[in-house]
Structure 1
Amino acid sequence: MSWSLRWLALEVKQLDRSVAFYQRHLDLPVRSEHETEIVLGAGTTDIVFRRPTSVPRGGIHTHFAVSTPATEYDDWWDRLSTPFDLTEAEFPTGKSLYFYDPDGNCVEIGQSTDDTGEGITGVFEIVLEVEDLDRAESFYEAIGFTIVDRGDDRRRTRLSTGEFDIELWEPQLGIANARGGVHVDFGIESGDQSPTTVLNRVESPLNVESLEDGVRVTDPDGHRLTLR
């Protein structure tokens, strides 16, 4: 399976302040603007900024990772090291730097293994806080994600679609003291599988809503996933 992340929604206190932050520091363009939400483009993914006025709200203290070509990583470090106290980590696939936005979301910029494109080329990982790791794993495996990694103490699980990853964290602090997101709302392009076909694999899904162009389902921890 190779599904893409269509959007990730963040709950913010002040739309103008949050949008200006991402435009100034990550050069993200505005794709649409409404009274209670503004959408910026992060490569192939939309980042949706929402005031907490309705459900779904968007995640709070969400940790998510955006990609940039490996050759541009040092430029991002030089650019962001002055306004932020950056944290850096090195993985088998490359380096990542971490900093925080005004609403307490932890933003990671990671080196992409694909050197095509420029700037921020997409969102490749989101982190969800879950109460019961086994229960959350079962839900996302039924959706179609594949487990690719677990923490040594099994308080963390990484699952992948081939295009992007989800990390499931029981309550904890990660690199740069990041936390998993609470009530995160995100959307997936499910390719040649219809949303109904996907959801038929899920046992007792919560709050399934039919939309004009997809289906929204609530996972056992209150995160909302839309399949299109």
Structure 2
Amino acid sequence: MLTGLSRLALEVKFLEPARRFYGGELGMAVRERGESELVFAAGDTDLVCRRPTGFPRGGLHTHYALSIPAEEYDEWWESLEESHDLEEMRFGEASSLYLYDPDGNCVELGQRDVPGPGIDGIFEVVLEVESVDRAESFYADLGFETIDTGTERKRVRMDGPMALELWEPQLGLADARGGVHVDLGFDAPDPTAALEAVVDRACRVESLEDGDRTRVVVRDPDGHHLVFE
């Protein structure tokens, strides 16, 4: 139903520190530059840094993961360790490093099978939700599949266009928190079908027609802003 993650938007106070961090330290190219936002290239996905001047806002204290080629991991660690308090975790054969951006978002750089060079995609996003059961049902109807659950079902991990983690309020690895009012864009061959799957539980719905193209905007039960296009 949803075939890819096209956009993740984060809220920032000021654009220049975000440009220095993402464009400078992480080497991400700027795709678009406006008065209130910068759009960086994370492979085929847009990483948007947006000042809070209207709606939708970007996500606050969002934990998300960027893909890097496995062979570049040591270089990334060496380039970032002097200026950041890094943490490391291993997941099977793969390692991830964790650091924080200037606005308190927990950024993971994880070894993935991507060509690179440098950052080449977003493979995980964590959302804070009031009820894991309610959020899990909502995203399951959009085609995500639960692959792991935490203790007492306070957390679930779902597989779909990217890994989606749904956390009731808690601290995770590297003291990360799930994002609130996160703005996510998805590639959807049939946006209307995606809308119909969840329309009865959405807080807000908007459907826009632009020629042969349909763009659907949905706000999920926890206030996250989803775009299907």
Structures share fold, TM-score greater than 0.5: yes
Instruction: Answer whether contact 1:6 1:188 (CA < 8 A) is retained.
Output: yes
Against the structure 1 CA distance between its residues 93 and 9, is the aligned structure 2 distance closer, same or farther, given a 3 Å change threshold? farther
Deviation at 1:220, TM superposition (A): 0.5
- What residue is the counterpart of 1:166 in the other structure? 164
- Deviation string for 1:97-137 (max 9, x for gaps)? 0000110000000000x142311001100000000110000
- What residue is the counterpart of 1:223 in the other structure? 224
Pair 1:207 & 2:204 matched: yes
Deviation at 1:177, TM superposition (A): 0.4
- What residue is the counterpart of 1:137 in the other structure? 136
Deviation at 1:151, TM superposition (A): 1.1
Query: Identity across aligned pairs (percent)?
Result: 54
What is the DSSP-based 3-state SS (H/G/I as helix, E as strand, rest coil) of the residue aligned with 2:197? coil
Give me the whole-angstrom Cα distance separating, in 2, the residues matched to 1:115 and 1:216: 30
What is the DSSP-based 3-state SS (H/G/I as helix, E as strand, rest coil) of the residue aligned with 1:76? helix
| 1:107-186 equivalent positions in 2, closer than 5 A | 107-112=107-112, 114-161=113-160, 163-186=161-184
Deviation at 1:93, TM superposition (A): 4.9
- Deviation string for 1:8-30 (max 9, x for gaps)? 00000001221221111110011
- What residue is the counterpart of 2:191 in the other structure? 195
| 1:29-48 equivalent positions in 2, closer than 5 A | 29-48=29-48
Normalised to the residue count of structure 1, the TM-score between the two structures is 0.94
Give me the whole-angstrom Cα distance separating, in 1, the residues matched to 2:68 and 2:137: 31
- What residue is the counterpart of 2:65 in the other structure? 65
Structure 2 unaligned segments of length 5 or more: list them: none
Deviation at 1:58, TM superposition (A): 0.5
Instruction: Answer whether contact 1:158 1:166 (CA < 8 A) is retained.
Output: yes
Give me the whole-angstrom Cα distance separating, in 2, the residues matched to 1:168 and 1:46: 21
- What residue is the counterpart of 2:16 in the other structure? 16
What is the DSSP-based 3-state SS (H/G/I as helix, E as strand, rest coil) of the residue aligned with 2:21? helix
Give me the whole-angstrom Cα distance separating, in 2, the residues matched to 1:36 and 1:187: 19
Normalised to the residue count of structure 2, the TM-score between the two structures is 0.94
Instruction: Answer whether contact 2:123 2:162 (CA < 8 A) is retained.
Output: yes
Count of residue pairs brought into register by the alignment: 224
Against the structure 1 CA distance between its residues 2 and 94, is the aligned structure 2 distance closer, same or farther, given a 3 Å change threshold? farther
Give me the whole-angstrom Cα distance separating, in 1, the residues matched to 2:203 and 2:79: 43
What is the DSSP-based 3-state SS (H/G/I as helix, E as strand, rest coil) of the residue aligned with 2:20? helix
Against the structure 1 CA distance between its residues 2 and 135, is the aligned structure 2 distance closer, same or farther, given a 3 Å change threshold? closer
- Deviation string for 1:38-64 (max 9, x for gaps)? 111111111111111101001000001
Structure 1 unaligned segments of length 5 or more: list them: none
- What residue is the counterpart of 1:103 in the other structure? 103
Deviation at 1:170, TM superposition (A): 0.4
What is the DSSP-based 3-state SS (H/G/I as helix, E as strand, rest coil) of the residue aligned with 1:197? helix
Instruction: Answer whether contact 1:71 1:115 (CA < 8 A) is retained.
Output: no
